[in-house]
Chain A
Amino acid sequence: MTADVLLSARDAGKAFMHQGQPRWACRGVSFDLYPGEVLAVVGESGSGKSTLLRLLAARLACDQGSVHYDLRAESERDAAGLTDLAMLSEARLRWLARTDWGFVEQHARDGLRMAVSGGANVGERLMALGARHYGKLRGEALSWMQRVELDTGRIDDLPATYSGGMQQRLQIARNLVTHPRLVFMDEPTTGLDVSVQARLLDLLRELVDDLQLAAVVVTHDLAVARLLAQRMLVMKDGLVVEQGLTDRVLDDPQHPYTQLLVSSVLTP
């Protein structure tokens, strides 16, 4: 492993017990992610993509293997450098999840606080980190709303009054407000209509570029992978069947399943 790897999975796997027997949702996943790199995880529904994402984001514990992340030291006594996430305390993981990471849920409702306004949603992470100046919080919320192309006049409206695409933008703003280095996205464009999808993808590509974000994007939409990601993993039945540069995998698929996946797209 080289020194500047950001996230590294080594033989990572997760099993769920089913009638007393372990059933592997995903297993033996290994890859390295470098700063500023976007990795797409594709595969059919039930192939273990989302479970893998939750393992990487330490929302689930690995039953096999490990996930390492390049920590920035919060204080002197903290571990820094590539560290096994399983070694971290819950407090440190929470701190990590709201400073260095973002997590964009498939359904914006799961990632937003629906009972408070858009502005409060954007400011939540900052307040959790100790921001106590209302004016500055509001300024930050306004600038992020502009950045994700939300109407700043809606800052005091509840997210429930936003459209689906706007909710997804708000969720993205809420995650990026602390300038994370790594963002996990679980099907960020699924459930939006095609024109909204296109605009959201455009925005994501821009943000990833501007902020030098690394991202792991789970999607079943090969077009999303093609647009956003430099590299991709193809999963089937919990295993990674193929990985490589996106263009290589999509243009010259090696594994039969990948070939099937690529050929089943109507407009590649």
Chain B
Amino acid sequence: MMDTHYNFAFLDERTKKHIRRALLKAVAVPGYQVPFGSREMPFAYGWGTGGVQITASIIGQSDVLKVIDQGSDDTTNAVNIRRFFARTTGVKTTEKTLEATLIQTRHRIPEQPLTEAQILVYQVPMPEPLFRLEPSRAEAIKMHALTDYGLMHVRLYEDIAQMGAISHAYDYPVMVNERYLMSPSPIPKFDNPKMHMNPALQLFGAGREKRLYAVPPYTAVRSLDFEDHPFEVQHWEHACALCGADQSYLDEMIVDDAGSRLFVCSDSDYCQERREAGHVGSQQAVTLRNVLASEPASAQPPNQEAA
């Protein structure tokens, strides 16, 4: 039931209209960061105020809402936001990706492929991909205007030079529609390929930074790379211990003091669906070789030569 002390979806109608207008601009110019009048929300910054404002602006009475945090539907952030919208809108909520029409997410894109009938809303902490590379905001805006993105490649070059590989595991920079450089929010780079030509509308909101941007359905999204160091997603040697999935993004959980790890799907709904469909994993934690525990002999300091 909706709490009638609030306007539908908490925000007042003019604010929602203002945000929808900004969203229209964002959709018209894929990847471009549109400034908007971000409101105070009953959440702390960092808890998804940008995503919440977008969701509040576009949610309708017939929508079915799903909220994901780190791939899971039952973590604090997800539970709170879901409850917030259940209370202020009274719309139906779900944990099933297939049933949802509106999905607000933090850190993950669902494993289940999205459809044209769905909208994915991302919570973004830092919308500016050139942040930390170009200290001047004015210069960064100019670089976007001129598609002058060599600097991002300088950063990737530096990664390879220092680390031997591009070390960004999340928030991996992408080119949208071959025009704007975009930060995909802190999703793992594993999810980057899912943004490419996705049938669903993808909206991004950064409340503290007061920016929103969008990737319309069926838009090209390319992860930056070098010809001789192509973009790659993460791989695991293990399958999910619960459902046996070997194509999903896995969380690694340490389950005892001996360093045993349990690998399970990060997308809790996907894992659940698979288990209900009869897939079974090994149900076993795996023991990894502890690289810090070495043989006693090699732990001895080398003999010092007498002077």
Q: Does more than half of chain A's interface fall in helix, strand or loop, or is it mixed? A: helix
> Interface size class for chain A?
20 to 34
Whether B151 sits at the interface, judged by CB under 8 Å, is yes
Stretch from A5-13, A120-128, A236-244 that touches the partner? A120-128
User: B154–A124 contact, CB under 8 A?
Assistant: yes
Expressed in whole angstroms, the minimum distance between the Cβ of A63 and any Cβ of chain B is 22
Whether A113 sits at the interface, judged by CB under 8 Å, is yes
* Per-position binary interface string of chain A over residues 72-93, scored 1 when its CB falls under 8 Å from any chain B CB and 0 otherwise: 0000000000000000001100
When distances are taken between beta carbons in the complex, the residues of chain A under 8 Å from B227 are 132-134
How many A-B residue pairs have C-beta atoms within 8 angstroms? Tell me: 52
Whether A119 sits at the interface, judged by CB under 8 Å, is yes
Whether A129 sits at the interface, judged by CB under 8 Å, is yes
User: B228–A134 contact, CB under 8 A?
Assistant: yes
When distances are taken between beta carbons in the complex, the residues of chain B under 8 Å from A117 are 158, 161-162
> Interface on A for B, CB 8 Å cutoff?
90-91, 94, 113, 116-117, 119-120, 123-125, 127-129, 132-135, 137-138, 155-156
Find the A residue at minimum CB distance from B224. Answer: A132
When distances are taken between beta carbons in the complex, the residues of chain B under 8 Å from A124 are 150-151, 154
Please provide the chain B residues from 97 to 152 with a CB less than 8 Å away from any CB of chain A in the complex. 142, 146, 148, 150-151
Q: Does more than half of chain B's interface fall in helix, strand or loop, or is it mixed? A: helix
User: A91–B146 contact, CB under 8 A?
Assistant: yes
Find the B residue at minimum CB distance from A155. Answer: B161
**Cβ contacts A to B, 11 pairs, < 8 Å:** A90-B146, A117-B158, A120-B158, A120-B161, A124-B151, A132-B153, A132-B225, A134-B229, A135-B228, A155-B161, A156-B162
> Interface size class for chain B?
10 to 19
Expressed in whole angstroms, the minimum distance between the Cβ of B95 and any Cβ of chain A is 42
Nearest first, the 8 A-B pairs at minimum CB distance are A128-B150, A127-B153, A134-B226, A127-B150, A133-B227, A116-B158, A120-B158, A120-B157
When distances are taken between beta carbons in the complex, the residues of chain B under 8 Å from A94 are 146, 148
Whether B21 sits at the interface, judged by CB under 8 Å, is no
When distances are taken between beta carbons in the complex, the residues of chain A under 8 Å from B157 are 116, 119-120, 123, 127, 134, 137
Q: A133-B226, A134-B228, A135-B228 are in contact. Are A128 and B146 (CB under 8 A)?
A: no
Expressed in whole angstroms, the minimum distance between the Cβ of B3 and any Cβ of chain A is 50
When distances are taken between beta carbons in the complex, the residues of chain B under 8 Å from A156 are 161-162
Expressed in whole angstroms, the minimum distance between the Cβ of B142 and any Cβ of chain A is 8
